[in-house]
Amino acid sequence: MLTNAAVPFRVEKARVDEEMIRAALQSEDAHPRDIADALAESKARKVSHRNPGNLVLGCDQVLEFEGRVLAKPESLEDAREQLTAMRGKRHRLLSAAVIYEDAEPIWRHVGVVRMQLRSISDDYLEDYLARNWQSARQSVGAYKLEEEGVRLFERVEGDYFTVLGMPLLEILSFLTVRGDLKS
């Protein structure tokens, strides 16, 4: 997404134990928004300590369905089960972004999108997964809105980029206002 926006960046793996952070927060009944924010912050903070003088952007996305935070389906069977449970109903995608500079948080935003799934048939779900699992497995909801996943939806209420994984418009606005990006 940053490449498409002609924003120069490099990727550095944060290597944080996301499962441990997520489990700890869920055991305290943390709100999905706070879980996404904490995961994004943990990545940005860890990389920022190693990169003084640089802006470090950490992101994370969670899917909330009926009060539960779902993890990425690990198998086609998990994806079938998850999409079958969610069809005809609404879920939310929450994408958090946190920017650190010199080991201090200087900006954060959590984008929220409401997704209304169609009551897709078993047959179409099977065809969809057969065609799309290899790509959709990278996504927390087992769909990519910019691909065939769009056919799963009746309505999408919110920002397109937040669905794809990060609140890009808000990030670009912050960097532009700060003068890091020309406009």
Ligand X SMILES: Nc1nc2c(ncn2[C@H]2C[C@H](O)[C@@H](COP(=O)(O)OP(=O)(O)OP(=O)(O)O)O2)c(=O)[nH]1
Q: Does 162 bind ligand X (CB under 6 A)?
A: no
In whole angstroms, what is the distance from residue 162 CA to residue 61 CA?
9
CB of residue 136 to ligand X, shortest distance in Å:
8
| Identified catalytic residue from 34, 37, 60, 122 | 60
CA–CA distance, 177 with 90 (Å, rounded to integer):
35
Residue 47 carries which DSSP code?
Answer: H
Q: Which of 33, 72, 92, 137 binds ligand X (CB under 6 A)?
A: 72
Query: What angle separates helix 18-27 from helix 32-50, to the nearest 10 degrees?
Result: 140
Q: How many CA atoms lie within 13 A of 10 on its CB side?
A: 5
156 binds ligand X (CB under 6 A): no
Q: Are 33 and 94 in contact (CB under 8 A)?
A: yes
Site string for ligand X, 79-118 (x = CB under 6 A): ----------------------------------------
Let me know if 60 is a catalytic residue.
yes
* Catalytic residue positions, numbered: 60
Which residues of the chain form contacts with ligand X (CB under 6 A)?
18, 60-61, 72, 139-141, 143-146, 149, 163-165
